[in-house]
Structure 1
Amino acid sequence: MTHAQPEPSAQTPPERAEYAFEGRTVVVTGGGSGIGRATAHAFADEGARVLVVGRRTEALAETARHRPNIRCYGADLSEPDAPAAVVAEAVREFGGIDVLVNNAARLRPEPLGRIDDLDARTELRVNLLAPLFLTQEALPRLEAAKGTVVNVSTAGIGRGWAGHSVYGAAKTALDFLTRTWAVELAPRGIRVVGIAPGPVDTPLAERAGLGPDEVARLRARQSARVPLGRVGQPEEVARWAVELARPEAAFTTGLVLPVDGGASAVF
């Protein structure tokens, strides 16, 4: 005797594909280390073709090592011609763009009164204007793919952050862009989401000029302020870039997700 199978209800989630990104192209900026490298690896491990972009070509090559579906492109995203060059390279290598991860960041902490004009302008170009103009350049490709933009900002920037006014202002603005673009681009089939990492063990502090002892003290202070009692790992942030870009997340847009060990919940 056989029994008819029940019809799936409208609430049944779609079956999760093992390689949901196979045949899709992902562009990751700031892909030479930290969250960018982990994000590139996470997408590549799920079958995506990944273009990693950054200034340090040796670091990009290390990201791509042993992963034949990762390609590298050296570019300084603070330069005006970089967005067009990055999109052209993605099209040349893979034929289009399905997911754009705006992850590249620059941090030069200084209190008001000691902020250097050139450093401030470069911080704003890398942290805010590069995502803006790269996304704008990629729009035709993203629309053709019904793609997703993932902007990486910073958790807790709604509160004051002494010594980081330029960086914090740029990342606050990036969150605003995420929400605004989500509304603007929804009719074109493009989703826009954000990830706001808390303290994460990346080389960003070292590249900002902190020595090993200063970084160790910084990590200790950060861990003390995080409810989970530690800083995060790049892979823990990268996982959410992948999750938010999945086909199963097709009804999610305009979200900026804190991945911060609970730090943003502490008043």
Structure 2
Amino acid sequence: MFGVNVVITGGGRGFGRTIARRFAAQGATIVVTARDLAAAQRTGDLLPGAHALRCDLTDPASVRRCAEQAEELLGHVDVLVNNGAAFLAESQADDESIVRTILSGAAGTVLVTENFLPLLRRSERADVVTIVSLEAESRSDPAHIAHAAFHTAKAGQARYAEIMSQRLRPEGIRMIALYPPDFDNDDNAPRDGVLTAQSVADCVLFAVNQPRDCFIRSFHFEPLS
């Protein structure tokens, strides 16, 4: 993937850091974004030639500025990974956190994709990857600790990815959504039968490396139990 430009939201830790490292290992140029610039920089420091940018998914001005900075750095974007989204446990919910959760997951995914589309349209191999969740589906675990606002945000991401997959396909831009159950988000978690960030990253890399006439719209994972 030498010469491929990749932008990853929520790249300061967990899966965002894992997928950034995997793309970088294949020779891609990485832009890592996070609401906390220091967190993005910590990931960027691990990767040769990577860039770190601040991007608050709940703030349209911040998203626009991030896209402008990415344009200055890269000129175009080949792969956009919509990974950033706030998690909210039932026990942690208040009015402000509910709004932030829905904004960062649903509205944030829409804002980032829309603002980066001009840069993706300059690519000959544009892919948008959205990390949704099994919790967006009706078969999600009713005993899951997530607040309903998190499920709502993930459902919004899923529906947006479905609509945009249809609308962008004539342009050759692929929208790829992943629906994993909870997985071990530790960047160095061993593969011992439990779904890991590394395994989810393998699915992303498999999809974006397919020939351009292969449109994989989604990966639906089975629950682990």
Bin the TM-score by the shorter chain.
0.7 to 0.9
Contact 1:44-1:69 at 8 Å conserved across structures:
no
**Structure 2-normalised TM-score?**
0.87
Cα offset for 1:248?
2.7
Q: Please say if 1:191 is aligned against 2:154.
A: no
Cα offset for 1:250?
3.9
**Structure 1-normalised TM-score?**
0.74
- Distance in 2 separating the partners of 1:118 and 1:140: 32
Q: 2:134 aligns with which of 143, 152, 155?
A: 155
Q: Please say if 1:164 is aligned against 2:126.
A: no
Q: Please say if 1:27 is aligned against 2:7.
A: yes
- Distance in 2 separating the partners of 1:66 and 1:123: 28
Cα offset for 1:22?
1.1
Tell me: CA distance 1:163–1:54, structure 2 relative to 1, closer, same or farther (3 Å): closer
Counterpart mapping for 1:18-167 below 5 A: 21-110=1-90, 115-146=93-124, 147-156=126-135, 157-158=137-138, 159=140, 160=142, 161=144, 163-167=146-150
State the match for 1:5 in structure 2.
none
Greater radius of gyration (CA): 1
Aligned amino acid, residue 96 of structure 1:
H
User: Can you give the 5+ residue segments of structure 1 that lack an aligned partner in the other structure?
Assistant: 1-20, 204-227
My pick for the range that moved more, 31-40 or 235-244, is 235-244
**Residue-pair matches, total:** 216
User: Can you give the 5+ residue segments of structure 2 that lack an aligned partner in the other structure?
Assistant: none
- Distance in 2 separating the partners of 1:66 and 1:32: 11
SS of equivalent residue, structure 1 residue 263 = coil
Cα offset for 1:122?
0.6
Cα offset for 1:163?
4.5
- Distance in 2 separating the partners of 1:79 and 1:106: 14
State the match for 1:176 in structure 2.
159
State the match for 2:214 in structure 1.
251
Q: State the superposition RMSD in angstroms.
A: 2.2
SS of equivalent residue, structure 1 residue 195 = strand
